[in-house]
Amino acid sequence: MVGISEVKGNSRENRTAAHTHIKGLGLRSDGYAEPSSGGFVGQVGAREACGVVVDLIKSKKMSGRAVLLAGPPGTGKTACALAVSQELGTKVPFCPIVGSEVYSTEIKKTEALMENFRRAIGLRVRETKEVYEGEVTELTPEEAENPLGGYGKTISHLLIGLKSYKGTKKLRLDPSIYEAIQKERVAVGDVIYLEANTGACKRVGRSDAYATEFDLEAEEYVPIPKGEVHKKKEIVQDVTLHDLDTANARPQGGQDIMSMMGQLTKPKKTEITDKLREEINKVVSRYIDQGVAELVPGVLFIDEVHMLDIECFTYLNRALESAISPIVILASNRGKCAIRGADELVAAHGIPPDLLARLLIIPTSPYSPEEVKMIIRIRARIEGLSISEPALDKVAEHGVKVSLRYALQLLTPANLLAKVNRKSEIDVDDVAECEDLFIDTQRSANIVSAADSFIS
């Protein structure tokens, strides 16, 4: 039988999300914004202000302060927050939440808020370890008489041969390491990684010398490590403070029946105490003083911040004053409105005045007709849609009269209608048909109002 195999390309289809096109703030080297760059169109003042915030964060002069993005719906507030995160780099944690997320039946509001604060604070731990890594060439367990007597034998030590590009080594390992090697299911021909201090063993994969021509295989093939078998390696680990909290809060029960019953009956989500967090903060501070670890304050983005209540706002005030706090970016599309939980108090953006005094407020303004057209053109290109110029003008007209979000939502259905009508690009007729099928909010409200008046 002739073997036929299909060579697959490595291109991957990604889902196009609302902010897929945002690649950064689109600023020049002097800090000024281009009219259209990085996926952004317009909002020049807001982008330049966000650029200053990024510089403040990088120079570590942003602690205890927060940023508020204020503007009408659909003016790029979330896009600005995402762009700030991308300017800071992938290693900086970015935790986006919505104001209504903190209301949970499992844990307190303030606890949910603090959890997200801790998720947005990273810790980069650098550690120099003495390691052995290479391809296993020999794996021989040496047996000895059982000291307890009887006919059984025990493993006294393990002989293992490792090969790298620059040489080979034969090691005599402790029986406890043999158990770790058995758990990892290491065999001759595997590439492994051994820590000299802790005895930890990690199977990296199968050596690529054993790779075959088949596409579908269970094994992952890796190259033989470069350099010597025995080396000193700097290991960098990125964790968040919330990861440390949950790792230390997990109860370690025994094997007796009462411990097992306790683990079964405990709630799904246990609350982490302030005392535990203080202890973790002390350990983190000690690591930072020793130069072992480095604190990486990330970005906590709270959208629709007016949904928080007065208790959350007071807690937010205290959290911002903490020695270990992330950069907090808030967003609101409200003007003067009542503060939730204190309905008699009316304040700007639904935020108490004492918290407003801590905020750097960045305004976002509605887009001009030319900017709306440019945004729709960019979205059409990102989604891989072909649209004629008259159809683009018609969609842009809806973006100005109704809303930008409604105009963008018309693109994909209009493209499907164009395909049904056997057209190579979206035409004005397709946009008009789509407009009749999917009405905007104003027309919808008018229809309901007319029906109500007819019934009455």
What are the residue ranges in the chain where pLDDT is below 50? 8-13, 254-261, 263-264
In the numeric block, which tokens belong to residue 48?
Answer: 């330049």
Question: Which tens digits make up the pLDDT trace of 281-295?
Answer: 888 888 888 888 888
Helix (H) / strand (E) containing 116 = helix 109-119
Q: 11-16: long-range contacts (C-beta < 8 A, 24 or more apart)?
A: 16/382, 16/383
Q: E-strand spans in 11-152?
A: 36-37, 40-41, 66-70, 94-98, 121-145
Mean of pLDDT over the chain: 81
Handedness of CA 439, 442, 447, 448 (dihedral sign): positive
Sorted by where each starts, the structural domains of the chain and their CATH numbers stand as 36-120+298-363 (3.40.50.300), 126-237 (2.40.50.360), 369-443 (1.10.8.60)
For residues 171 and 419, give the distance between their C-alpha atoms in angstroms, rounded to a whole number: 66
For residues 191 and 203, give the distance between their C-alpha atoms in angstroms, rounded to a whole number: 6
For residues 378 and 366, give the distance between their C-alpha atoms in angstroms, rounded to a whole number: 18
For residues 118 and 448, give the distance between their C-alpha atoms in angstroms, rounded to a whole number: 46
Nearest to 134 by CA among 95, 172, 164, 110: 164
pLDDT the model gives residue 248: 78
pTM equals: 0.69
| DSSP conformation class of 387 | B
pLDDT the model gives residue 250: 64
In the numeric block, which tokens belong to residue 288?
Answer: 């930072």
For residues 103 and 105, give the distance between their C-alpha atoms in angstroms, rounded to a whole number: 7
Report CA-CA distances (Å) from 174 to 53, 141, 148, 159, 187: 54, 10, 19, 9, 18
SS3 398: helix
pLDDT the model gives residue 146: 67
pLDDT the model gives residue 270: 55
| DSSP conformation class of 308 | S
In the numeric block, which tokens belong to residue 53?
Answer: 């915030």
What strand order describes the sheet that includes 66-70?
A: 94-98, 299-303, 327-332, 66-70, 359-363
Parallel/antiparallel/unpaired status of strands 167-173 and 153-164: antiparallel
pLDDT the model gives residue 61: 72
pLDDT the model gives residue 259: 47
Give residue 269's Cα distance to chain centre: 21
Q: How many C-beta atoms surround the C-beta of residue 307 within 10 A?
A: 18
Question: Which tens digits make up the pLDDT trace of 238-290?
Answer: 888 888 888 777 655 544 444 444 544 555 555 677 788 888 888 888 888 88
For residues 294 and 126, give the distance between their C-alpha atoms in angstroms, rounded to a whole number: 8
CB contact set of 444 (below 8 Å; sequence gap of 6+)? none
For residues 87 and 408, give the distance between their C-alpha atoms in angstroms, rounded to a whole number: 26
- Residue at token pair 């706002």: 313
